[in-house]
Amino acid sequence: MSPPSLIDAHPNLSDAAPVALSYELFPPRSPAAAETLWTTIRELETTEPDYVSVTYGASGSNRDTAVELINRLLLETTLRPLAHLTCVGNSPEELAAIVGELLDTGVRGILALRGDLPKDASAPAAGSLRYAQDLIELIRRVEQRRSALLCAGKIAVGVAAYPARHPESPSEEHDVEVLLAKQRSGADFAITQVFFETRHYADLLTRARRAGVTIPIIPGVMPLTSLRRLNRLGQLTGVEPAPELMAKLAAADTDLERLHIGVDATVELANAALDAGAPGLHIYTFNEHQSALEVLDKLNLPRRSRPGNQHSRRESVARIQLAS
């Protein structure tokens, strides 16, 4: 699996380089949630994304469910899964076994993350990995041992990047130094955490390139349609959502009005990132497809030619508009 954002258009085939497209999904927590998720998966599949990332809870609390979802994606859909993997609290032996299991399943892309620190502030178990770059190096060692089984192929390893300062970081410059260390350890590409200001992605890109980061940095964009979700993410990331947007969402009379306000704000963020040179977009779907497809419809991204799928894409958008 090639790094998902390194897709270049042949100059003779298109005037605009295609934009890599990906989504984030998480394992369902109930049968009802599973039904909703699979409706979303089928809708998103019509857009033929380059990959979908599959996350799991803190400390791998629902890793088995995540692996089950990845298996189904590989067997029952055309989607390419990128498996989240965190290292905090896990030994190298445990993590090597998990990487091996993912590769045996058919996964060829891993998003290597540190993960959340224990809420009780307890020290990590002796010998456990503590940083994302340690996990990247472990993945590369497993890959080397399995190179024959992988037909000498390469695992695509992604990492996180932070447009605004990480809540545990002393500075934005330190965040870039960490990203550079991840690149040196073998990362192929980065996906940013959620950001709320149009300048954030461009500023990150400028800092990163000046520091020597050369890997693609893909903006992670969340449809900004839910007040509750925005407040929650603001608390988690330490970055306050734009007050003007929050006021507009709070003043909206209907869910449909909030949807349109949030989609317009998301499109503005995405366009600013693309104008700054973003090679793709990663959409945090929260297992919902409507707002994600609305955003894509307004962006009209340059994509690789997919003539066989245009009819299903139009039908999908039409269903959304009718439902609204």
Query: Catalytic residue positions?
Result: 24
Q: Which residues contact 89 (CB under 8 A, 6 or more apart)?
A: 59, 115, 118, 124, 125, 128
Structure token pair of residue 166: 């990480």
Q: How many CA atoms lie within 13 A of 257 on its CB side?
A: 9
Q: Which residues contact 240 (CB under 8 A, 6 or more apart)?
A: 196, 234
Please give the DSSP secondary-structure letter assigned to residue 96. Answer: H
Closest alpha carbon to 223 in 301, 277, 160, 286: 286
Closest alpha carbon to 287 in 66, 20, 59, 1: 66
In angstroms, how far apart are the furthest CA atoms of the chain?
Answer: 59
Cα(16)–Cα(12) distance, rounded to whole angstroms? Answer: 10
Closest alpha carbon to 28 in 82, 64, 80: 64
Structure token pair of residue 81: 């899964």
Residue ranges of alpha helices (H) inside 130-219 are: 132-145, 172-185, 198-211
